Amino acid sequence: MKKLMIAFMMLALPGLAAAAGAGPHLDKANIDLTDKASLQRGARLFVNYCLNCHSANFMRHNRMGKDLGISDELVAENLLFTADKVGAPMGIAMPLEDAQNWFGTPPPDLSVMARAKGAGDEGANWLYTYFRSFYIDTSRPFGVNNTVFKDVGMPHVLWELQGMQTLVNAEELAAHKGAKPEFALNQPGSMSAEEYDQAARDLTNFMVYMGEPAQLERKSLGIWVALFLLFFFFIAYALKKEYWKDIH
């Protein structure tokens, strides 16, 4: 009975935590994985602004080109800024050790980050909100903080596009963690607010898409492992029968 209670509590706890609204406010990403133009724009942003620090080891450039309808030549011309070969995994342009020293935390691999940030739409919503929630905080090493990732160790790498904003309702947020943050643009970027929202959506779309092939690959590997174990079980069982045959 006690065990049953414990099992029940373990099942119920994550649900309760979600119901209590423990996390920060997230905006809806509303991504569309079938929108190829959006995925292509997202891929471009990702390669130009993220791979300097992060890796995406699951993703291969040529597979990306194939899935998104971009030819190998175009991938090589437009998407790669390092001397990477087409067909190589998207590596990091910075040695991990340097990254560790510069940022305190090494930038994590982004292959399955959309899924790591939550099930269903939640991972996408998290990313979409994250990209739009950097604000000026002079107490931080890079001069910015983030409402969904407190004291984040990453600079606002898209600031030239979005501009720089300040957090207007810091007190309210301190009192109610789930409150919706309000920002005011302090210094405009090259994009309007709507254009930047779309860019954040494209980037999120691409990152969710990127998590999928990796997920599929791991699942198909899992099936083979399960099949092997089943096969091995029958062999072991047959052997056992054979060994014990004459003993009774």
Quick one: which H or E segment has residue 102?
Answer: helix 96-103
CA atoms within 13 A on the CB side of 95: 3
Q: Which one, 49 or 169, has the nearer CB to ligand HEC?
A: 49
Helix (H, G, I), strand (E, B) or coil at 134: strand
Q: Cβ of residue 23: shortest distance to ligand HEC, in angstroms?
A: 13
Give the shortest CB-161-to-ligand HEC separation in angstroms. Answer: 10
CB of 54 to ligand HEC, least distance (A): 5
Tell me how far apart the alpha carbons of residues 245 and 162 are, in angstroms, rounded to a whole number. Answer: 76
Query: Tokens representing 177?
Result: 């963690």
- Work out how close the CB of 51 gets to ligand HEC at its nearest, in angstroms, rounded to a whole number: 8
Which helix (H) or strand (E) segment holds residue 9: the answer is helix 2-19
How far apart CA 193 and CA 176 sit, in angstroms, is 26
In angstroms, give the least distance from the CB of 173 to ligand HEC: 19
Single-letter code of the amino acid located at 203: L
**Residues forming a β-bridge with 163:** 188
Nearer to ligand HEC, 49 or 166 (CB): 49
Three-state secondary-structure class, residue 90: strand
Residue among 77 and 98 whose Cβ is closer to ligand HEC: 98
- Please tell me the distance from the alpha carbon of residue 69 to that of residue 36, in angstroms, as a whole number: 8
Footprint on this chain of ligand HEC (rule: CB under 6 A): 49-50, 52-54, 103, 105, 107-108, 110, 113, 127, 130, 152-155, 157-158, 203
b vs e for 123-134, b when ≥16 Cβ sit within 10 Å of the residue's Cβ?
bbbbbbbbbbbb
Instruction: Please state the closest distance from residue 214 (CB atom) to ligand HEC, in A.
Output: 15
**CB 174, min distance to ligand HEC, A:** 20
Q: Which is nearer to ligand HEC, 70 or 111 (CB)?
A: 111
Which residues lie across from 164 on neighbouring strands? 187
Q: Which of 54, 45, 171, 56 is nearest to 111 (CA)?
A: 56
Q: Is 150 helix (H, G, I), strand (E, B) or coil?
A: coil
